[in-house]
Amino acid sequence: MQDQFDERRRRSANALRKTNREKSTVEALICDVVAHTLADAHALDLSIALSNEALTGKKAPAINRGVPDRLKDLQATGWLKVELGKNYGEAKRSTLKAGDKLLLRMKELGVTIDDVGRHSSHAEDLVELRGAKRESDGSREILKVPDTSETQRLKEQVRRLNECFAAARIDQVSTEHPSIDTHRRSVRRYFLDGSLVCGGRLTGPAFWLSVEKVRRRSGLLLDGEPIAELDLKSAMPSIAYAHEGLVIPHDPYVPLEFSYVPRDELKIAMMKFLWDVPKKGARLPNSVSHHVKGPDKHRRVYEAMCRHNEPIAKYLLAEEPQGARFMFDESEIIINATERCYEAGITALPLHDALIVPVSKADAGMSIFEGAFKDRLGVLPVITQDWPEVDR
């Protein structure tokens, strides 16, 4: 009975979250229509793609799936004029135009172009708290965020970040790749396992969190300059080693006896060992197992990882997994580094375990990144400039 109640509550929370996302998307589209009308460009109608990827930067089919239906409702009640799925060359786009009711309401309220703009998320949306991962399907229940001085501090921190991102000079140059919607800049923090010291990464519609690497690197400009990407090398193992007062001595993901396995696959195995509890019959993910030769693959790779990383072996398949707590360290470091960059007058975009800055500020950004890591964990990290590649 309790399981059924928990499942109903989970579905209710997810449905509410989905509804709120669709509502925010429709509100944004209405604002676009209003701005288009006020700019006297409405004679051509507003043309926009309504695919999930275009609206959110993701291909997940459940996100914003109901938006076309909501637009049809607004058309039926006279607020919008909508033509869905009109073809423009090879692309399929829809056209939106202010309906009579919207035009009348704009006139009654005296709306001008100065009234239309972007604002940060509502305070209650800036922090998200998720429960423990369910073994059945890997999902996490969305929990109510307590109203405490700590959650208020976290919300204020994210609000400040969003203000920095909104004011940043972010442009792009034309390339052979599709353009980026650089107006999507808001973020929120999500925490895991019902704890404000687990997880804490930034998520949200901010374009740099989801846009493909090649598009970001080829066309993005910060303060009129190409970007540099600064990466915390082997982030999770680096943090684990730092908790032991050590700097990573080698590539933590590649034990000698499995050097023939692609590094990215061994990285997946390491993450599994940091996040999973010991479990009878455990197996490597299929993508990893495919590359590992011989029997008893899970045990052999696990033992090799432990030997290769003896100082942090206690964190691998620990009875109390530390992955979510190490992720919290990572999120605190990257957010702190981002704040320090803006305080120093450097435009910066945080990307999980990396920092994006103007290319001329790469050295300064790297120094700030190193300082944020050392101040939290007491040792210097290994920071690399992944783009553009340089010899250091």
71 exposed, middle or buried (CB, 10 Å; 0-12, 13-18, 19+)?
Answer: buried
326 exposed, middle or buried (CB, 10 Å; 0-12, 13-18, 19+)?
Answer: buried
Domain 143-236+324-387 in CATH 3.30.390? The answer is: no
Q: How far apart are CA 387 and CA 216, in angstroms?
A: 11
Q: How far apart are CA 327 and CA 240, in angstroms?
A: 10
The pair phi, psi for residue 202, each rounded to 5°, is: -85, 140
The number of angstroms, rounded, from the C-alpha of 322 to the middle of its chain's C-alpha atoms is: 21
**Amino acid in position 11:** R
Residues in the chain where the model's pLDDT stays below 70? 1-18, 40-44, 52-63, 86-91, 114, 117-124, 391-392
Crossing angle of helices 263-275 and 235-243, in 10° steps, is 50
3-state secondary structure 319-386: CCCCHHHHHHHHHHHHHHHHHHHHHCCCCCEEECCEEEEEHHHHHHHHHHHHHHHHHHHCCCCCEEEE
Q: How far apart are CA 24 and CA 27, in angstroms?
A: 5
**CB neighbours of 224 closer than 8 A, spacing ≥ 6?**
169, 171, 358
Return residue ranges of the chain for CATH 3.30.70. Answer: 143-236+324-387
Crossing angle of helices 235-243 and 362-377, in 10° steps, is 40
Return residue ranges of the chain for CATH 1.10.10. Answer: 2-117
Classify 2-117 by CATH class.
Answer: mainly alpha
Crossing angle of helices 323-343 and 263-275, in 10° steps, is 110
